[in-house]
């Protein structure tokens, strides 16, 4: 099975320091929906793994998050692709859970759900914690320069083997070329 794991904010859509709290605030980054569609059409399963501490912080409800994700799925479908599943950590930074990136719990859940070894599978993020979680789970970390990516890259300390690309479309170009 070909599986790509994507962070949401800063990879698929514009990020906000004030959180994405409503479907109207969820705006796809240029080229990201088409990139996901190209993966889907090439037989890849696309999964989202995202920290969503806005729930724990009381900034939005699970119903609102579901509405945001319905918009994401709808727009990806309109581009000709599909999001196979969305895994979220609803906890706050101090909750001590195992699912909040940089811990690999979301990736462990993905592996369990699909009953596959995710070692070496691409995981795309824009923050160090995305890459650390991917690396801890044995995935191949990819950093995009969108969202917090430039700042993450400039800060250094990236996990060994991290590949860097301009955006999700460039990651997909590389993945489809490797096939």
What does the mean pLDDT of the chain come to? Answer: 97
Residues 8 and 18: their CA atoms lie apart, in Å, by 15
Q: Has residue 157 got a pLDDT over 90? A: yes
Q: Has residue 179 got a pLDDT over 90? A: no
Report strand pairing: 163-165 vs 85-89. unpaired
- Reported confidence tier of residue 178, pLDDT bands at 50, 70, 90: confident
Please give the model's pTM, rounded to 2 decimal places. Answer: 0.97
Residues 160 and 40: their CA atoms lie apart, in Å, by 28
Known catalytic membership, residue 9: yes
Report pLDDT digits (tens) over 5-16: 999 999 999 999
Mean pLDDT of 131-143: 98
- Residue of 7, 15, 130, 167 with catalytic role: 7
Report pLDDT digits (tens) over 65-119: 999 999 999 999 999 999 999 999 999 999 999 999 999 999 999 999 999 999 9
Q: Give the alpha-carbon dihedral of 164, 84, 115, 90, to 10 degrees.
A: 80
* 3 state SS of 140: strand
Give me the CATH number covering residue 168: 3.40.50.1000
The total of structural domains in the chain comes to: 1
- Residue of 9, 15, 126, 130 with catalytic role: 9
Report pLDDT digits (tens) over 47-62: 999 999 999 999 999 9
What pLDDT, on the 0 to 100 scale, is given for residue 154? 98
- Tokens, residue 26: 């969820």
What pLDDT, on the 0 to 100 scale, is given for residue 177? 95
Give 77-134 as a DSSP string.
HHTT----EEEEE---TTS--SSSTTSSHHHHHHHHHHTS--TT-EEEESSHHHHHHH
Give the domain extent around 72. Answer: 3-178
């Amino acid at each position: 099975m070909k599986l790509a794991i994507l962070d949401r904010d800063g990879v698929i859509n514009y990020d906000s320091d004030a959180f994405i709290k409503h479907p109207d605030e969820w705006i796809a980054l240029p080229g990201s929906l088409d990139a996901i569609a190209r993966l889907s059409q090439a037989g890849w399963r696309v999964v989202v793994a995202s920290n969503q501490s806005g729930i724990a912080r009381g900034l939005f409800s699970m119903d609102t998050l579901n509405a945001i994700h319905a918009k994401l799925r709808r727009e990806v479908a309109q581009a000709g692709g599909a999001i196979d599943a969305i895994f979220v950590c609803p906890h706050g930074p101090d909750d001590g859970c195992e699912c909040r990136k940089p811990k690999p719990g979301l990736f462990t859940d993905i592996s369990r759900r699909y009953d596959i070894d995710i070692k070496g599978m691409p995981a795309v993020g824009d923050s160090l914690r995305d890459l650390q979680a991917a690396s801890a789970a044995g995935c191949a970390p990819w950093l995009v320069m969108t969202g917090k990516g430039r700042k993450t890259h400039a800060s250094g300390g990236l996990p060994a083997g991290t590949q860097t690309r301009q955006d999700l479309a460039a990651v997909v170009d590389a993945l489809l070329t490797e096939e």
